[in-house]
Amino acid sequence: MNSTLKTLLIWFVAVVFTMGSAIYQRTTGPTYPVRGHSEIAGQQIKYKLIRSYDLSDDAKVTVIVPDTSIKGEMNLRRFKSMDNWQIQPMQRHGDTLIGALPHQAPAGKVMYEVTLIKDDQRVKLNDHPAVLRYTGYVPRYILFPHIFFMFFAMLFSALTGMMVIFRQKHTYLFAWITLISVGIGGLVLGPFVQKFAFDAYWTGWPFGHDLTDNKSIVAFIFWAIAVFVMKKNRENQLWPIVASIVLLIVFLIPHSVLGSEIDFTKEQPTQTTK
């Protein structure tokens, strides 16, 4: 295989790998909606229960149920609280049942279950309570560049690792591009995303345990070491490969795991519904 074909193949694999990582990040983690199908009275019901909300009103949980004889209710309480479970009937608007989760401050969470009711039949949609986290609104001019640079870093991290293994050119340049992308996406734009979402620029070590922040600094440190070592010795293979593996592990950890949350157990029990 000639060098040009090998380079094109490496680029192709890196792009496919990055797209797969993007899909994985999109479909995993505690903020991705709970999706599924259920059956009541011989009717198939498709549902999507939201687990993240960034507006200033109550989060709306909607389930499309065309049969108007079917009712719905939600069982809810604040997450990490001593609150009692509260039952809230869902309101019907046309073919849709709608329930409202009481708004919380950013990082506040509400756990809930949805039950459909027809005559004496009751069907719970989710076997385990869904947990919705409220966040502040992150402007798209901050959020989209943050996402772009993080996946740009993933692309060039994969490229650098494979280029090093197959002894291709421009590995030092690609390592620098990876480092800069991680720095901009994770350490510059990332704190602004956190500030808008949770009113804190940094919630990772040593101030907290937010894995999103911690992942960014770990990836940056390993790529900084790789760039430093490659500057001294462009033939070094160990550190760029190690840094590529570390960034891969970072992306395999679902987004928002161990993210910011309010511990309501430190407060007095309150009613969840308004």
Contact at 8 Å (CB) between 179 and 154?
no
Q: Which pLDDT value is given to residue 93?
A: 95
Whether the pLDDT of residue 244 is over 80: the answer is yes
Task: Measure Cα distances from 227 to 53, 87, 118, 223, 266 in Å.
Answer: 39, 57, 63, 6, 45
Convert the pLDDT of each residue in 28-65 to its tens digit.
Answer: 778 889 999 999 988 999 999 999 999 999 999 999 99
Closest CA to 189 of 197, 132, 208: 197
Q: How far apart are CA 65 and CA 69, in angstroms?
A: 9
* Domains detected in the chain: 3-28+138-252 (no CATH), 34-136 (2.60.40.10)
Question: Which residues fall within 8 angstroms of residue 245, CB to CB, at 6 or more apart?
Answer: 161
Mean pLDDT score of the chain, rounded to an integer? 88
94 Cα distance to chain centroid:
32
Q: Which pLDDT value is given to residue 236?
A: 79
Contact at 8 Å (CB) between 73 and 124?
no
Q: What is the DSSP string of 48-96?
A: EE--EE-SSSPEEEEEE---TT-EEEEEEEESSS-PPPEEEEPEEETTE
Q: Hey, is 36 helix, strand or coil?
A: strand
Q: How many CB atoms lie within 10 A of CB 217?
A: 16
Backbone angles phi, psi at 123, to 5 degrees: -125, 120
The DSSP call for residue 33 is: P
What is the band of 111 on the pLDDT scale with cuts at 50, 70, 90?
very high
Task: Measure Cα distances from 62 to 33, 54, 59, 252 in Å.
Answer: 12, 16, 10, 30
**Across residues 78-82, what is the average pLDDT?**
91
Residue 141 in tokens:
């001019």
Q: Hey, is 241 helix, strand or coil?
A: helix
- Provide the whole-model pTM: 0.82
